Structure 1
């Protein structure tokens, strides 16, 4: 049948509004709204039949039951639902009333149209309300990862507004040997600060094994600036509590849940964090980032360069040290799970490369060693052997027990290449 004959069959199925008429042919003509398409088809049928009809008011339509006239109303309700929320992109989803979907199926069946065809009611509702939301809020639609998702439940007459997280990327330097990277709740009281009705003696009632961390110094100013409900800290690996993170720093992302402000001044935020951290932590290169940056940070398997101060239990000479370092330089290292982390990591043997190892003897029992190793190489165990769990090791090669007294991370290699893709960042107002 021709489109004109099909349109006649639809028109003859009772009062059908222009939008519902046009929607049945959305896959067969383009460039018009469904209401415009339906009106044109209705006129064509009347001209062909020389039989003018009274126009059908949307409120009288038995298919959508007047809902095709409510796009503006739903758009205003959606916009009102994000009053005070800063965002740049959005998406609209619709839960259509089952009765309307059933009416649409009956219409196509009665008109002799193929079951699959046209455009579903909820698809038009998404688009038409979505266009109006964009105009009202001066934002753009994003079907992948919008800042805000509006779910319109037409039957319940409700609008559910879901504000997706916002992300701030940067690099931190940890200048203290007394703070961990992330919050460390007390295991004895499960972070409550109380045990047996009294203050927990293990954490002095604080709920934390360490009262400060990189996360606790960096995240709160970001959370406050973005006016969110909560935050999560994601680092590209982590250093030991007693190790400093120096050089260009370690990449991280702070994820802010339900932010009301999505585009803070990151330069001012960087200054605030560095001032309040009081020399314990420094951040640099703060930028607004996308959701994908979290996975990129967490999955980064970069190599790292360390500087370790080593103490030997017995005197050694420089020749012995240099011979041992030469053996480790470029060596393949086998490491069983270290004793110090065995309570939280499964026992297994890891094979890692020591790309470059060098150092100098300071006196008979002290040396400074620099190690550039593959991601995941345990440096303290590379020095001490961890009772034979690491082979080869510095202790094993010099034949004298030794251990790391101070450890600094000088560089996380490869992060510039991993994070240079502009698609992973969002322009802030001062960059536009």
Structure 2
């Protein structure tokens, strides 16, 4: 492959099809070239662009130059070079390719990035001229390629040369938009993502920020401080998000961040064992090449024993959807209090009935105000129980994601069938709940293709908003 070919492929050059386009044989090509040249002053790019589908490995400017030479030889006339700055079609825009590339590089000079993409907004008049050029020459209006596509490619190749980075048409770190008419270069710095697992070691900490509903997070009711949140704007002063994301955002020098969790536990539940998968998405990061081990230590120091993270790794944007959508199973440990005495045999029999049972749960009373009213069917894959005394037991459940554990124990006034309370015939209440593990049902969350081992976080222009979803079924 020649250097020209390599540059074309690196920038997504469509000029490598090797297929014949409009124009037929050599005489037809020359006739079309003569007609194009007769339309007015043309640069080599605009002369060659209607033939973009012809001849492997050439740029349009090379096609245009070759056509000028071929016409001059065939007609035995003096050779006239292309009218670069006076082209009636593009009005000399290709003379500004280097300028646009330099301005694009300057726009993100303070950012670390390894991949980019270039788009252009071409003046409507130039696009119309590009169409009329072909029509006036009797060619198909869609012959070759559009002006915008060639400009994208030519500026894109130059940006790569100037910055030493690679084009990425899927999820680049930065995206450039060149508005030719407005003489403006816009740069968008896409998100970076950090994956890990967290353990929540203290109760009464929600996963994400919980703004006060009475003052809508403002901290005030009229001129006075909000009585509900004591003026803080939050129902809970801390969250897993607030104890982790600010550190990641600060290290990557971003402007904002979003916390995405694989479900969520109750506010009053602990998250122990192997922890819960999460992704922190950092907006407009200036730094992407970070030491994730040091970051992990920094986050844990900041969280001060309330939350711990482990296994931090730079990941692709696809990991956000994965932690939110992958089918997962969870293990729980519940401290249970009974309303009447229970024997070991009674507990063993009830637990055996629940073990492997298919459970139908109508939307629990405690979340009915923000969950759709419907019956959900989940499986309690494994249930064990041990009596502490006649009124207290420890029950462990391995269940489907979305299985409401507190209601599996209490029955929720008949909304959950079967339930431990219903099988025992006594009231049963969860007094403390711990989540012990969150794992993929059919495969692990941590698949190699989702991680960026070279330290370069990918970009993401499609920001995924945080939501509370159905979570684990044990969300408050």
- With the shorter chain as reference, the TM-score category is over 0.9
Cα distance in 2, alignment partners of residues 388 and 104 from structure 1: 71
Contact 1:234 1:294 in 2 (8 A): yes
1-structure distance, mates of 2:445, 2:60: 44
Cross-structure match for 1:366: 392
After the TM superposition, which of the residue ranges 10-19 and 157-166 deviates more from structure 2?
Answer: 10-19
Among residues 311, 315, 322, which one is paired with 1:285 in the alignment? Answer: 311
Matched, 1:264 2:290: yes
1:333 aligns with 2:359: yes
Contact 1:383 1:395 in 2 (8 A): yes
The residue matched to 2:322 in structure 1 has which SS? Answer: helix
Displacement of 1:378 after TM fit?
0.5
Is the Cα contact below 8 Å between 1:151 and 1:160 reproduced in 2? yes
State TM-score, norm by structure 2.
Answer: 0.88
Q: Secondary structure at the match of 2:182?
A: coil
**Are 1:58 and 2:84 counterparts?**
yes
Distance of 1:49 and 1:400 partners within structure 2 = 103
Q: Are residue 323 (structure 1) and residue 349 (structure 2) matched?
A: yes
- State how far apart, in whole Å, the 1-side matches of 2:150 and 2:117 are: 13
Q: Does 1:158 align with 2:184?
A: yes
Q: Distance in 1 between matches of 2:447 and 2:394?
A: 37
CA distance in 2: counterparts of 1:103 and 1:357, whole angstroms: 73
SS at match of 1:22: helix
Change (3 A) 1:385 1:311: same
1: distance between equivalents of 2:53 and 2:192?
A: 37
Maintained 8 Å contact 1:263/1:288: no
Q: Where does residue 379 of structure 1 map in the other structure? A: 405
Measure how far apart 1:68 and its partner are: 1.5
Give the one of 221, 224, 227 matched to 1:198. 224
Report the equivalent of 1:342. 368
Write the distance in 2 (CA, Å) between the matches of 1:263 and 1:377: 39
Cα drift, residue 416 of structure 1: 9.0
Work out whether 1:105 is the aligned partner of 2:131. yes
From 193, 196, 204, the equivalent of 1:178 is: 204
Q: Tell me what 1:122 maps to.
A: 148
Gap change, CA 1:416 and 1:254, over 3 Å in 2: farther
Matching of residue 136 in structure 1 with residue 159 in structure 2:
no
**Partner residue in 2 for 1:211:** 237
Seen in structure 2, the aligned counterparts of structure 1 residues 67 and 212 have a Cα distance that, compared at 3 Å, is: same
SS of corresponding position for 1:169? strand
Residue 29 of structure 2: aligned partner: 3
SS at match of 2:277: strand
Contact 1:179–1:210 (Cα < 8 Å) also in 2: yes
Q: Could you tell me whether the CA contact under 8 Å between 1:171 and 1:252 is conserved in 2?
A: yes
- Report the CA distance between 1:418 and its aligned residue: 4.2
- Contact 2:289-2:456 within 8 A present in 1 as well: no
Match of 1:226 among 252, 267, 288: 252
Partners of 2:456 and 2:193 lie apart in 1 by 17
Counterparts of 2:416 and 2:128, CA distance in 1:
68
Give 1:351's match in structure 2, choosing from 354, 377, 398. Answer: 377
- Contact kept in structure 1, 2:361 and 2:376, CA below 8 Å: yes
The superposition leaves residues 295-315 of structure 1 with CA deviations (integer Å, 9 ceiling, x where unpaired) of: 111112201111111111211
Structure 1 segments unaligned to the other structure (5+ residues): none
| Runs of 4+ off more than 3 Å | 428-431
The structural deviation recorded for 1:368 is: 0.8
Check the 8 A contact 1:251/1:415 in 2, yes or no.
no
Question: Given the alignment, which residue of 236, 246, 259 partners 2:262?
Answer: 236
Question: SS where residue 355 of structure 1 aligns?
Answer: strand
Summarize deviations over 1:355-397 as a string: whole Å, max 9, x none.
1111111111111111111110000111111111111111111
- The answer for the alignment partner of 2:213 in structure 1 is 187
Q: Does 1:408 align with 2:421?
A: no
Secondary structure of residue in 1 paired with 2:89:
coil
Task: Tell me the SS of whatever aligns to 2:85.
Answer: helix
Shift of 1:427: 2.5
SS at match of 1:282: strand
Gaps of 5+ in 2: 1-23, 458-476
CA distance in 2: counterparts of 1:181 and 1:104, whole angstroms: 55
Counterpart position of 2:279: 253
Quote the residue 2:469 is aligned against: none
* 2:439/2:445 contact within 8 Å kept: no
Deviations 1:187-208 (A, max 9, x none): 1111111113111111111111
Q: Answer yes or no: is the 8 Å Cα contact 2:292–2:312 preserved in 1.
A: yes
